[in-house]
Amino acid sequence: MTHLPSDQNASGRDLGAEELALLETAVRSGTLTSTKGQFVAQLEQEFAELLGAGHAVACASGSAAVHIAVAALDLEPGDEIITTPITDMGALAPLLFQGVIPVFADVDPATLNVTADTIAARLSPRTRAVIVTHLFGCPVDMAPVMALAGEHGFPVIEDAAQAFLAESQGAPIGTIGSIGCFSFQQGKHMTSGEGGIVVTDDDGLARRMRLFVNKAWGYGDPQPDHYFLALNYRLTELQGAVALAQLRKLPAAVKHRRSMAERLAGAVEDLPGLSTPRAPEGAVHSYWRFPLWVDPAVVDGGVDYLARALREVDIPAAPRYIQKPAFETQVFAEQNTFGSSRWPFTLADPEAVDYSPSRYPGAYQGLDQVLVLPFNEQFTAEHVDVIAGEIRAALEGR
Ligand SMILES: *Cc1c(COP(=O)(O)O)cnc(C)c1O
């Protein structure tokens, strides 16, 4: 059996001479902090240029990216942000640290993404923003979301951690809302081990986000001070050097992922009971992972059967992605926050923290039917053909 490349080590990553060369320059310069060095600044400039964004601000992680985005909105404790229960905890914890109540919208079971309709169902007088997560690299259907946000006058934050260079109506994902957030964690489209970056066209938001990364110290101001509560969320020059080399490879890496994903989808899409990833009309997927949807009414044993069959031949297929919606984790279910205070949940309207399963039919159905296949830039035609052959064998019988 072919051993599939893994993004957890060199087999599935493109880390080599380019990264080492920039890293060596960074080390030899002796300047490892971004407040004095060149690499993080250069990374920000090239990232903003690639996306056509006005500003980019690098930071320590994707979680930090979401945190600085939320902090930039300067909300009141108890204010609400509508988000998704199918995401990384790093996209939710920052809201609680800022005293904001995450209000979970349901998702479309066919993508596990929020929609304008599921967001609209959770609007309240305390809604101050929405975070849309482009899960697995599949864009949220942005036009109706932006129309809804415009109508109600709240900003949209895009969590693009899984959607580097995905597009919607010709615009890069991350540049459609007010702020786009990205992660450079080991398993993302580009990596420096850990790291993150945000983009925005808004000068005021860019300044607040840059301050939040720097303990709100006004570097370069005539009379700098620590203007408000903030953290040190800086990326180091070491990470900046590696991320810069990775960024320069990103367009080719995403192009390759797309062509391999299309090959894989084309090879299995005729199989009954199976759905391959589909971007909404006018959008382009960037395939962080390759999710399949398995209809248990057609495929006996559903997602568990197919996962088991693929695992037997060394294809690490993961049924149910994160297993359960975020509101079922102990953080939310037991409101484990600061000491025994339960703050900021104590400020929430009961409606905002009502996690009854009946509110989330899409989330439960989608998780029950999704099978996440690994994917990375080192997958070749041979790898995807083997995967497709094994899926076919499992579903059609040998
Ligand atoms: C990875 C990820 C994050 C968090 O990024 P970290 O760099 O791990 O902190 C946030 N949101 C989504 C959707 C992610 O996939």
Q: Whose CA is nearest to atom 6 of ligand 1?
A: 62
Which CATH code, of 3.40.50.1220, 3.40.50.300, 3.30.390.50, 3.40.640.10, is assigned to 10-247? Answer: 3.40.640.10
pLDDT at 3: 86
With b for 16 or more beta-carbon neighbours within 10 A and e for fewer, the 312-335 pattern comes to: eeebebbbbbbeebbbbbeebeeb
| Best of 136, 183, 190 for a ligand 1 pocket test (most atoms within 8 Å of beta carbon) | 183
Atom of ligand 1 nearest to the CA of 184: 7
Q: What percent of the chain has pLDDT over 70?
A: 99
pLDDT at 397: 77
pLDDT 10s digits, 297-322: 999 999 999 999 999 999 999 999 99
Mean pLDDT of the region 78-106: 98
Question: 91 alpha carbon to ligand 1 midpoint, in Å?
Answer: 6
- The CB-based long-range contact list for 334-341 (8 Å cut-off, 24+ gap) reads 337/96
Asked if residue 98 has pLDDT above 80, the reply is: yes
- In one-letter notation, the amino acid at residue 87 is T
Question: 63 alpha carbon to ligand 1 midpoint, in Å?
Answer: 6
H helix intervals, the chain: 17-29, 39-51, 62-72, 93-97, 116-120, 142-152, 203-213, 237-268, 302-312, 330-333, 361-369, 381-396
- Enumerate the active-site residues: 188
Question: 288 alpha carbon to ligand 1 midpoint, in Å?
Answer: 12
- Containing 289, the helix (H) or strand (E) segment is none
Give the strand pairing for 370-373 and 274-275: unpaired
pTM: 0.97
Asked if residue 63 has pLDDT above 70, the reply is: yes
Contact criterion met (CB below 8 Å) for 49 and 290: no
Asked if residue 349 has pLDDT above 80, the reply is: yes
pLDDT 10s digits, 127-183: 999 999 999 999 999 999 999 999 999 999 999 999 999 999 999 999 999 999 999
Mean pLDDT of the region 86-109: 98
**Locus of tokens 């540049």:** 175
Residue 203 phi/psi, 5-degree rounding, is: -60, -40
Contact criterion met (CB below 8 Å) for 372 and 318: yes
Give the strand pairing for 196-200 and 179-183: antiparallel
pLDDT 10s digits, 170-225: 999 999 999 999 999 999 999 999 999 999 999 999 999 999 999 999 999 999 99
Sign of CA dihedral 270, 273, 278, 281: positive
Atom of ligand 1 nearest to the CA of 90: 4
Question: 83 alpha carbon to ligand 1 midpoint, in Å?
Answer: 14
| Best of 67, 68, 88 for a ligand 1 pocket test (most atoms within 8 Å of beta carbon) | 88
Give the confidence band of 32 by pLDDT, cuts at 50, 70, 90. very high
| Best of 59, 61, 63 for a ligand 1 pocket test (most atoms within 8 Å of beta carbon) | 63
Asked if residue 5 has pLDDT above 80, the reply is: yes
Question: 94 alpha carbon to ligand 1 midpoint, in Å?
Answer: 11
Mean pLDDT of the chain: 97
**Angle (nearest 5°) at CA 171 between 166 and 174:** 60
Contact criterion met (CB below 8 Å) for 196 and 63: yes
Asked if residue 58 has pLDDT above 60, the reply is: yes
Q: Whose CA is nearest to atom 4 of ligand 1?
A: 62
Residue 129: both structure tokens together: 């923003």
The whole-angstrom separation of Cα 331 and Cα 278 is 32
All structural domains of the chain with their residue ranges: 10-247
Q: Provide residues with CB under 6 Å of ligand 1.
A: 61-63, 87-88, 90-91, 133, 159, 161-162, 183, 185, 194, 196
Atom of ligand 1 nearest to the CA of 183: 7
Q: Whose CA is nearest to atom 7 of ligand 1?
A: 62
pLDDT at 1: 56
Asked if residue 241 has pLDDT above 80, the reply is: yes
Atom of ligand 1 nearest to the CA of 66: 10
Asked if residue 231 has pLDDT above 80, the reply is: yes
274 DSSP β-pair partners: 294
pLDDT at 2: 67
Contact criterion met (CB below 8 Å) for 142 and 398: no
Question: 85 alpha carbon to ligand 1 midpoint, in Å?
Answer: 14
Q: What percent of the chain has pLDDT over 90?
A: 98
3-state secondary structure of 110: coil
